[in-house]
Amino acid sequence: MWIGTVAGLNEIKGKSVIRFTTQEGLSNNNIKNMLLDSRGNIWVGTLGGGLNKYDGKSITVFSTKSGLSDDQIRSIVEVKRDSLHKNAEGIWVSTDNGIDFITNDVIEHGNIPGDNKIEIYKRDDGLKGEDFCSNSGYRDSENKLWWGSVKSLTSLDVKTISQEKIIPDVKLTTLYLDENYVDYRSLKDSIETKKDWFVGEKKNQNFNRVTFTDVPAYCNYPLNLKLPYDINNLSFRYASTDLNSPHKLKYQYILEGADREWHQVTNETKAVYTNLGAGPYTFKVRARGASEIWSEPFTYSFTILPPWWKTLWAYLAYLLFLIFVVMRYSAWKNKALLTRQKELEKTVIERTADIVEEKNKVQEKSRIIEHKQEEILDSIRYAKRIQQSLLTNEKYIHKTLERLRRK
């Protein structure tokens, strides 16, 4: 026996009680409803924690993160296998925000992120109310499902459930330029007749520089589009059809040349890009409906031309000008080096002449000094001779006087 309380799930085996709470893996202890399905799984609906499935070994949690419409579970109903209604087999859950259908694929293999197989039914699908009462779900003997909501009683005949894999077909409908709607057929006529074609509230934007080859039938976008560099704000408008569930259409897009990956899934039917640089681009958009299967991407290619100063001819001119500047600079540099060399040579010659002149002056002074020294030496030698002569005469006088005395 299984008993659900506001404090968890309890299994009674004889005289023992096994308790399951958030510590054992439950998403929430406040249990509102339970169901034992034909596979032997225990389904536990909580208030605030979503839906729990216990298979006897482990607990699997289904919540808004898994694809449920709400985490407030009000009732659980099963459409069993081999019920002759294959399209409706699985677990049906009513919440505070709609009715959710969990298919057998999800029950057996788990809900794969990004590959949502939980189907949600809301007002757009025919519900009169989306906030259902607790434990109001019921399947009668004719396999009709019943739910009681705050505003009405809802019945679903499972024989009417269709899971035909309808894949939507997505198309580009029109292309806005610089936030302006453009009638490309009229623009094509103006270009062919070489007339100006102005758009905008003030009629101040001339689109006669836009080039393209044709406009496809029943659509308003140009083929083989080439835009000047200053018309680079584009808004892609696209659409798709899903007659069974148009409100479930979702889109995803990417602009190759500007984006690295696909944008997040959205229900918006337009994609806006601003200040695109020059280069080739490919816009891709895909759609999915109730089948949750993506369509083949619609592909649209166009080119934004560079400004004249970024064209190949401009870059070639820049290269030639650079080569010319380098050559002129090299010639000027060589001429400057030669001039400097001549100036250095002249300076060397002048400095050498100065050195030679200084050397000659030094040598002349040396000769004068030597001459003076020679004159001084001659005077000294002459004085010595006079001195020697005087000394000789003195000796002779002494000798003469000495002889006279003796006589």
Alpha helices in 134-252 (DSSP H): 184-192
Q: Which of 141, 160, 179 is the last residue of a domain?
A: 160
Handedness of CA 261, 266, 271, 274 (dihedral sign): negative
Span of 84-93, 103-112, 211-220, 263-272 with lowest mean pLDDT:
103-112
Same domain membership, residue 210 and residue 356: no
**Contact status, residue 223 vs residue 172, Cβ threshold 8 Å:** no
Closest CA to 144 of 127, 159, 164: 159
Percent of the chain past pLDDT 70, that is, above it, reads 91
Domain membership of residue 165 (yes or no) is no
Same domain membership, residue 303 and residue 320: no
**Contact status, residue 262 vs residue 271, Cβ threshold 8 Å:** no
Largest alpha-carbon pair distance within the chain?
200
The DSSP 8-state label assigned to residue 166 in this structure reads -
Mean pLDDT of 366-394: 79
Distances from the Cα of 24 to the Cαs of 6, 34, 51, 57, in angstroms?
15, 17, 15, 11
Handedness of CA 320, 325, 331, 333 (dihedral sign): negative
**Burial profile 208-245: b = 16 or more Cβ within 10 angstroms, e = fewer:** eebebeebeeeebbbeebebebebbbbbbbbbbebeeb
pLDDT at 244 over 80: no
Please tell me the distance from the alpha carbon of residue 173 to that of residue 142, in angstroms, as a whole number.
46
Please tell me the distance from the alpha carbon of residue 11 to that of residue 18, in angstroms, as a whole number.
5
Same domain membership, residue 153 and residue 179: no
What SS3 string covers 315-374? Answer: HHHHHHHHHHHHHHHHHHHHHHHHHHHHHHHHHHHHHHHHHHHHHHHHHHHHHHHHHHHH
Q: Which of 272, 291, 309 is the last residue of a domain?
A: 309
Please tell me the distance from the alpha carbon of residue 50 to that of residue 32, in angstroms, as a whole number.
11
141-180 pLDDT per residue, tens: 887 889 998 878 888 887 777 656 778 899 999 999 998 9
Domain membership of residue 226 (yes or no) is yes
- Token couple for 253: 């897009």
Total of domains in the chain: 3
- Token couple for 101: 């259908």
Q: Which of 309, 343, 361 is the last residue of a domain?
A: 309
Domain extent for 225:
171-309
**DSSP letters along 102-113, please?**
EEHHHHHH---T
332-367 pLDDT per residue, tens: 999 999 998 988 988 888 888 888 888 888 888 888
294-312 pLDDT per residue, tens: 999 999 999 999 998 888 8
Same domain membership, residue 137 and residue 21: yes
